[in-house]
Each structure stands twice: as C-alpha cells, then as structure tokens.
Amino acid sequence: MALPPLRRAVLVAAAAVLAGLVIAPPAAVAAPRPPHVQGTRTVPVYDYSNAIRESVWVTTRLDNDGDGVPDKVAVDLVRPREAAAGRVPVIMDASPYYQCCGRGNESELKEYAADGTVTKFPLFYDNYFVPRGYAFAAVDFNGTSRSTGCGDVGGREEIEGVKAVIDWLNGRGRAAYADGTPARATWTTGKVGMIGKSWDGSVANGVAATGVEGLETIVPISAISSWYDYYRDNGALYTTDGGPHWLSGYVNGRPEEVCQPVRDAILTDSDNATGSFNAFWAERNFVPDARKVKASVFVVHGINDGNVEPKHFAQWWDALAKNRVPRKIWLSQEGHVDPFDFRRSEWVETLHRWFDYWLQDLPNGIMREPMSTIERAPDVWVNEPTWPARGTFTLPVSLGAGDGTAGTLNLTPTRPGTAVSVVDDPTLRERTLVANPNTPIAGRQVFLSAPLPRDLRISGTTTISLRVRVDKPNTELSARLVDYGTATRVNYQGSGEGIRTLTTESCYGASSPTDDACYRDTAKDVVMSDAAVMTRGWVDAAHRDSLSHPTPLQPGRWYTVNFDLMAHDVVLPAGRVLGLVLTVSDTQYTVPTSTGATVQVDLGRSRLGLPVSLAPGATALAETAVAPTVSAVNVTVPSTKMDRDLNRIPIG
C-alpha cells in the first residue's frame, strides 16, 4: 500500500539523517607526539649514556678489491634506547678519516671497546642530536677503517658504497652484524640527513647527485663538487705527486697489496701528464647531476678557502639554483674551517632548526628566512635574500697602460695595439708580486683602479679575457684580484686559517663516560694589513679552448685566453683601490708544465669581467689615465703550509 506523500517525505528525511550518522567518519585524532618534540623544535629527553650503540656492515653491489665477495661498508650507529622515541631519522657523516686522521679541530677518532662496540664518536652530532630523537651514523668509506673494498677517491665505489647505507636504512638493502646475523633498520623513519666537512661533505654532494630516495637533506661544509677542480684549474696542475692515487693510499685501511692495483689504475686514468679532463674526472664531477638532487642543501664555505676553493661551492650552488633545489648558504671569511669553530652557538642553533625542519617535519619557519648569510668583516655577519647578490651583472673593465710603472683598471677601452710584456719568473712568491704595486718588478704586471668613490660590491665569479702572444708552445697564465687598503682582516692564511684554538672548552650535548660533548673554544685570528688577495685563477694556455683536448700555441701568433678566478663576495669601501696582478707560471700554487715564456698582452683586447651588484657602487671604477700610488708594506700572504706543491689533503 502506498504511503501518504507527507509521511513518505518524513521517512526519507529521517533515513537521510540516519545515513549521515552512520557513514560520517569519526573526527581525526592527532597522533601523540613523541616526548622529544615540544612545539616546533626537538628537545633533549633521552639518555645518551644508555643509548644503543651498534655496528653493522652494509653489502654493496661492487667488488673493486677483486676478491669475489661484494664489498661491505662499516656503519657505527648510536640511537635512543627509549621506546617512546619511536622511529627516528638519521644524521649521517660518512668519512675516510675516522681511523687514519681524525675529525674536527681536535682530530678525534672513533673508539671501540674490547668486544668491538663503538664507544666514542668524533664531533658533537651524536652528543647533541641523539637525546633529541635522532640516530647518528658514522660511515667508513670503502677501503678505510673496518670497511672492505678499496677507496677510489670520489668515484663509483665511494659514492655507491655510501648510497647503499641509505638504501639499507630505507629497507632496500642488506646488512649484517659482526657475527653475520642479518641487521634490519626497523627503528628508523628512513629519513637521512648527510653532513660533513671537506671530503665528508664532498661525498654528501656525490650521493645527493644520485637522487637516492630517503636522503632528505645534505649539509656540505667546505666540500668538493668536482674532483678535477680540486686537483687542477683550467688544465693547470696543483700537484703531481699528491694526486688521488696518493690520497687513496693515505686513508687506506686494507693490506697494501690488496688495493695497490686500484691505486695504480687511479694514477694512470687521472692523466697527470696532460692535466686534461677525461672520463675518470667526469665520473667525479657532481655538478651535471644536480638535476637529480632531491635533497635540500645547506652549503657552508669559506670564501678564502685555499684547500677546497670557492669555485666548488659556486658551481654547485649555481647548478642547484638552476634546478630549483631548496637551499641555504653560509659564507665565511675563514679558510678551510668548520662553522663550529668560527660561529659556534649560532651554527648549532641553525643546524638544529635545519634538521628539525627537514628530518622531523617541524614547521619552524627556517625556509622563510633569508637564504644567504655572509661574514662581511671579522665577526660581522649579514643576512641577504640570495647569493650572488640580487641584481649582480658582469661589468667589463678595461686594462690600461698607465704611467709605465702600473697599469690602470677603468671603464674606457684601451686603444687596440697597446701591449705590455711579462717575462716569466717562476721564483716569484705572492708576497713579492702583490706588494708595492707602483714599483716595477720583473715578472709581473699590475693594473690599478682609482680610489673607489663609493662602496663597490663584488659578488660571484670574476672572469678574465687576455689577448696574448707567447714565444713558447705553451705557458701558464696566472691572475690575482687584490684589495689595496689598510684594514683589519681575518688571517685566513695563518696556521689556523682564521681561528685560534683556546684553552677553555664549551659543551654542546650530553656526555657519557667514554664520549664527552665538550670542545676547545676558538677565537678569530685577525691581522692588520695594507692589502689582501681576494681571489686567484690559473690556466694552462694549451687548454684555452678545451679541457679535454689541449692544443699547443704557435709562437708569435695572437690568441684569446679566457678563464675564471675563484668566486668571492666582498664590499670594498670607498677609498680602496682594486688591483689586478698578472704573472706567468706560479710555482707556489701550481705545478706548471712549461716555464720561462715571454708573454705579450694586448691591453686593448683584454678585459676583466667583474660581477657587481646594482647596489650603489656598481660602476664605481672611476676612469683614470694614471694609476694611483699605492704602498703595500704589510700584505696578507700565504704561509708555507698553503703551498700547492705540497700533498693535497682535504682534511677537516
């Protein structure tokens, strides 16, 4: 029997209400936060002394020691024991130095108990972050310490070995304890942040360039981005004896005979005889693979680093920017120094917030803050929205003949055909060639600006184009950009590369009976000087057109040679004088393949490309016909330990 319309309508409405009550999902209940998260930061709540400490060996897909067994990477781990911590992310420092050389300003090594249990980790990362709900992993490169395989210095073995650890942490790989029992990383979220200075940071760059899943962020400090550029500059050799074959042996933890064939192959393949770029170096160049990077990147570098030079961070940074990688950068006035030793409290706080954001998903706002932080003068830091400075462009600066003692830098092109000669003097040292620029010195040519009428910001990579005629089939060309003017400067070429180690200590994190969190304090090392070299660059003229295929010069013929100087960032105050110093071979920093040439430079067809910003002072190089008189009696110069003819060791 049909229902009356009114009753049918009431029943339909009631059914709709009832259906809504039945199918509506319950209100979402937020998952309880672990004890180490308070608000938007992690806090130290877990017992560091009682933390789980263990070692595992991760199996790789490689066998470069040729023993028929896959190479294994040793990983020493420390993590909270408390169940309330839940699954935790991992901070990782992969290094070749944990047993041979040590880490940090105090050269700390890993230490082990009699049963092989790791009892001490170098640096503060474990002490500080484990109580805050992180695990810390100290990874030994292949061929070092307790890992098998052989070190190949930036190559496939090194990168794939560390990548295998990240795969294992994300359930994609195999590992075992010392007794062979399988080890599974069920205690981690799989999120990994790599950090490290020098070689440690270099492998972080390389692993990020594989695009491995699970690597959420990297913090490369004074890190290499292309190993060719660590050992050579535009075909100019930095060393012949201390190349990657030597470095592989320096950190080797295997019996000598096991890895000697690998080192022999490295020596052959790196091609010291020509200084050319080839497949060996292409494998160790991470810059082209910046397009694969999925991790965020926090770059830290000294703009006066004479070991891992500023070109490494600059070319890596530019590639990351081109690929829109989330990033942040700190640039200091020091040399090859960890920020823990030049800006300790601010560094620990910033790093803490960085890892909390990327590894713990805490919305602390760090990515809304200025991208760039730069040390303008000793302990004077400024924040800026980007790097290089916004609005930077290349200002072409002409080279002029001047008054016969020093040439000029100005904006008016010199008349074509005006030439100067430089006769190579391989004995010249930087102290001599930079000092007293108005005094003629055989073997150099100096070009000076007028005193700057207002501040000048240089930000980025300076380029130079020289039109030259040479009386030999090959020669090296060297250039330095100099700041002439009295100032208190960071003594980056002193024994501490800009810092002094004090007798007092400060502590960051928790300690255990075998691993304390206290480190020697440091202070800025400064010097009053009348001039300082800002940036340098070299080129082997036979490599002028190609790094891979050198071609000799025909004596008497004119050639255009273009090359870059190291990246830099500086604000030169009004009244300073900008100088360009040209020399031929540089035996202090490089190992020239040819010396003794006479080089003519056509000033009218030579240029300096200066990266300046649109800030006041962008065109502050006043035109002048005669260079100003500059007396330099106290010049910041390199100490003997900075000479490039010594072995190159990227130790932090």
Burial of 62 (0-12, 13-18, 19+ CB in 10 A): buried
Q: Choosing from 95, 145, 147, 198, which is the catalytic residue?
A: 198
Annotated catalytic residue 352:
no
- In whole angstroms, how far apart are CA 270 and each of 123, 153, 230, 314, 358? 33, 11, 12, 24, 37
418, two tokens: 């005006």
DSSP track, 349-401:
HHHHHHHHHHHS----SGGGS-SEEEEEETTEEEEESSSS-TT-EEEEEEEE-
Least Cα distance to 95 among 135, 136, 129, 49 occurs for 136
CA angle in degrees (0–180, nearest 5) for 125-131-136:
40
Active site residue 594: no
If one counts every other C-beta atom within 10 angstroms of the C-beta of residue 418, the result is 16
Question: Which one of the listed residues 93, 305, 424, 569 is annotated catalytic?
Answer: 305
Q: What is the Cα–Cα distance from 235 to 189, expressed in whole angstroms?
A: 45
State both tokens at 596: 């003794």
Strand partners, 219: 195
336 assigned to active site = yes
Amino acid at 374: I
Helix, strand, or coil here: 589? coil
Angle, helices 156-169 vs 199-208, to 10°: value is: 70
Contact 43, 364 (CB under 8 A): no
- Phi first, then psi, for residue 470 (nearest 5°) are -125, 145
d(CA 376, CA 405): 32
Give the active site residue among 336, 352, 543, 568. Answer: 336
159-170 core/surface letters (b: 16 or more CB in 10 A; e: else): bbbbbbbbbbbb
- Which residues participate in catalysis according to the annotation? 198, 305, 336
